[in-house]
Amino acid sequence: MKRVIIVGAGKGGSALLEILAKTDRMKITGVIDKNPNAIGLKKALEKSIPTGENYNDWINGDIDIIIEATGDEAVLDELLDKRSKKTVVIPGSVAYIISELMEEKETLLEQLELQANNQELILNNIHDGMIVINGDETVQFANKSAERILGLSRDQLKGRDIKHVISGSRLPHVLHTRRKEVNQKLVLENAKKVITTRIPMINDQERLLGAFAVFKDITEVMNLAEENTDLKEIKTMLEAIIHSSDEAISVVDEKGNGMMINPAYTRITGLKESDIIGNPASVDIYEGESMHMKVLQTRRAVRGVRMKVGPAKKDVIVNVAPIIVDGKIKGSVGILHDVSEIRTLTNELKRARQIIRNLEAKYSFNDIVGPSPEMKIALEQAKVGARTPATVLLRGESGTGKELFAHAIHNESDRKHNKFIRVNCAAIAENILESELFGYEEGAFTGAKRGGKKGLFEEANSGSIFLDEIGELSHHMQAKLLRVLQENEIIRVGSVSPISIDVRVIAATNVNLEKAIMTKAFREDLYYRLNRLPVYIPSLNERIDDLPELAIYLIQKLNQDYGRNIKTIEEAACTYLQSYHWPGNVRELENVIGRAMIYMDMNEEVIKKEHIPNLHPTANHKKAESSGVLTDSRSLKAAMEQYEEIYIRTVLEQNDYNKTQTANELNISIRNLYYKLEKHGIDKNGMQDFS
């Protein structure tokens, strides 16, 4: 509902008050006039509407429309200057028009009241012809205007069947359907064209009494329209409304020439009235098709069209609608929206979506490629796990796609609309892993944030948490995790109060947990908690028949990353790839295909065997590398790095690839060990990792 105040309670303001008080769409919140005896103020008080003498006390409130009814140009200018941007100010000329119309209405009502006792006299003196029929379709009454328009006397009309009087009359149809017909055109037998409205007559008991038609000569209608319609005043009112709008508006005539624009249009396009008025609709377009001309041709509105307008090449969205009067198109009106603000909001939305993606699972089971029986078994097991709330343990070599499975399990579960948190247990230093997983209270340790911090388990509440490298956890952290799985609660660092959580745990490891239990490196009770639903993901070597399909999938993925257009891989290249044992699994395969694509010419579309790097080192190189002997001449730095790589691999193998024990034996931090493993390209099994 629009909130309205009326400034000026004289004749015009009083008339407006009477009209607006009867509408449901507007609420008069105040009437202002310096004269306390103004008639409008008295009427407002009678209707319990607040009044005042100074409009400055009102215009800064929550007002949608201010109607200036004083007729004072200075008051209008001040209201326009002081109003808020959302408030529309309608000038006093509108109030004057309405007051005049109200006076005419009151005069007509007085005349009608004086003539109420002589209905036939009234009907005989109106310009409109009128015919009434009964239920038998017989004419019961016809006024003098009807006699004049039809060219028949009352005796020739009364008592006759309406179809014999007017052959094309639809009064019988209205009688039978009980539905009125408004402003219908009809050509009479005397060649006169009339516009008629036909209405059935039904009493309070829903009984059909008959029907009547009111009609007038079109020529008379045109004359009356010219006599009683002040087109200049209506145009002034429309211009005031359009100019006060914050929307950029342009209006063209039926030929597509500019008729009107408002200040908001000038502000967006940089074009003035002299540039638009009288010129073709395309004059403001820098890039795009004229929607005004399209609407004039099709008679259909268009919405949401992007184009550039004005000398500043302003990017806008355009909505255009036709102006149709009496079935004829008279022009069109267009509204322009500046998209700079829309673009800003879109960028904000993209950033928000990027943040959300970091908390969501990216992949589904459709992203896991592999028709081999081994892979189908793993997929079926994972899908069963997705449908249950049980903890899932993903097992397999490095690079087999354990994280991909974790994403898919979350996306297939009933938690898919909640957070998916990923944690690499081996990549976070032991001294901060506990606070990262379980959070901490304020003052729990030096550097703790004020107010404390939520842990990753709390962040994942109602969702899923993926714990990768679960076999690398220390005994202390294993005990903490066991409590989470048993009690469904965590305790923040520095606190003694447990916090209940509802988190689905998906764990992954490439460590032989059974052997780790025997060596006391892994808790047996935690093993049984994690191993309720194990899913073994086969290595690429175990499903080597999947390699051609995997290669095609990876080519399509890398095409997007590298901006290439590689279509396939030849059979000889696939055969060569299948002869390799793939210690790095799918991750290594992706790396090899990626390197092959990088060194291909831009116009090549098929990966051939010669594009693929050497996958089979010579036997002598392997022997020398395994014995720790440096066989080729190189700088001291290169030789030391090669020896460091060989030594780390040896210690890693001796500790059954347990990185925590390896780091302790090498007397370096776990983070430093990860750095060196990545530096030398050593994966979790101690093999060369090409990813």
For residue 28, the domain's CATH number is: 3.40.50.720
3-class state of residue 450 by DSSP: coil
- Residue 148: closest CA among 213, 195, 216, 197: 216
459, 385: one domain: yes
- What pLDDT does 34 receive? 87
Task: Show the tokens assigned to 442.
Answer: 């304020």
Q: What is the CATH number of the domain that holds 655?
A: 1.10.10
Whether 687 is in a domain gets the answer no
What's the CA gap between 501 and 464, in Å, rounded? 11
Written as six digits, the tokens of 393 are: 């343990």
- What confidence score (pLDDT) does residue 110 get? 67
Torsions phi, psi of 673, nearest 5? -65, -45
Calculate the alpha carbon distances from 671 to 123, 222, 468, 660 in Å.
101, 91, 15, 10
Side chain identity at residue 124, one-letter code: N
What is the Cα–Cα distance from 80 to 87, expressed in whole angstroms?
9
* CA 471/CA 277 separation, integer angstroms: 78
End position of a domain, from candidates 511, 538, 565: 538
Q: Are residues 269 and 300 in the same domain?
A: yes
513 plus 375 within the same structural domain: yes
Scored b (16 or more CB within 10 A) or e, 162-198 reads beebbeebbbeebbeeeeebeeeebebeeeeebbbbb
Spatial CA neighbour of 3 closest among 75, 65, 86: 65
Tell me: do 497 and 409 sit in the same domain. Answer: yes
Q: How many CB atoms lie within 10 A of CB 200?
A: 18
- If we measure between CA atoms, which residue out of 531, 533, 606, 525 comes closest to residue 564? 606
- The parts of the chain modelled with pLDDT lower than 50 are 356-357, 618-629, 631-634, 684-691
Does residue 337 sit in the same domain as residue 416?
A: no
Is residue 239 a part of any domain in this protein?
A: no
Q: What token pair was written down for 297?
A: 């041709």
Strand partners, 509: 395
CATH number at residue 488: 3.40.50.300
Cβ–Cβ < 8 Å for 425, 466: no
Show which of 490, 515, 538 is a domain's final residue: 538
Q: Which of 674, 152, 683 is nearest to 430 (CA)?
A: 674
> How far does CA 541 lie from the centroid of its chain?
46
Q: What pLDDT digit, counting tens, does each position of 64-96 carry?
A: 888 888 878 888 888 888 888 788 888 866 666
Report the run of H or E that residue 228 belongs to, with start and end.
helix 218-228
Assess if residue 416 is contained within a domain. yes
The CATH number of the domain where 584 resides is what?
A: 1.10.8.60
**612: three-class secondary structure by DSSP:** coil
Domain boundary residue among 342, 368, 396?
342
Among the listed residues 433, 398, 470, 467, the one whose alpha carbon sits nearest the alpha carbon of residue 685: 398
| Per-residue CA distances from 539 to 375, 506, 655 (Å) | 9, 20, 22
Task: Tell me how far apart the alpha carbons of residues 527 and 482 are, in angstroms, rounded to a whole number.
Answer: 9
- Would you give the end-to-end CA distance of the chain in angstroms? 64
Could you count the other beta carbons within 10 Å of the beta carbon of residue 123?
Answer: 19
And the tokens for 130?
Answer: 């009128």
In a domain, 113, yes or no: no
Nearest to 284 by CA among 293, 323, 304, 322: 293
Are 259 and 378 members of one domain? no
Note whether residue 351 is domain-resident. Answer: no
Asked whether residue 688 is domain-assigned, the answer is no
Q: Model's pTM, two decimal places?
A: 0.44
In sequence order, the 6+-apart residues with CB closer than 8 A to the CB of 205 are none
Coil, strand or helix at 372: coil
In a domain, 233, yes or no: no
Whose tokens are 């776990």? That residue is: 670
Tell me which residue range forms the domain holding 23. Answer: 2-104
Number of H helices, E strands in the chain: 29, 25
User: Is 260 in the same domain as 322?
Assistant: yes
- Is residue 250 domain-shared with residue 331, that is, in the same domain? yes
136 and 208 fall within a common domain: yes
How far is it, in rounded angstroms, from Cα 416 to Cα 429?
30
pLDDT of residue 606: 92
Q: Is 561 exposed, middle or buried (0-12, 13-18, 19+ CB in 10 A)?
A: exposed
CB within 8 Å of 351: residues ≥ 6 apart: none
Do residue 386 and residue 428 come from a single domain?
A: yes
Report yes or no: 661 and 521 within 8 Å, Cβ to Cβ. yes
For residue 234, what is the enclosing H or E element? Answer: helix 231-243
CB 132 within 8 A of CB 141: yes
What is the chain's alpha carbon radius of gyration, rounded to the nearest angstrom?
43
Rounded Cα–Cα distance for residues 535 and 403 (Å): 12
DSSP character for 448?
A: P
598 and 663 fall within a common domain? no
Write the CATH number for 290.
3.30.450.20
- Asked if residue 545 and residue 534 are part of one domain, the reply reads no
Total count of residues recorded for the chain: 691
- Domain tally for the chain? 6
Nearest alpha carbon to residue 411 among 378, 387, 376: 387
Query: Could you tell me if residue 136 is inside a domain?
Result: yes
Answer for the pair 351, 509: CB distance below 8 angstroms, yes or no. no
Q: How far is CA 569 from CA 498, 524, 579, in A?
A: 56, 47, 15
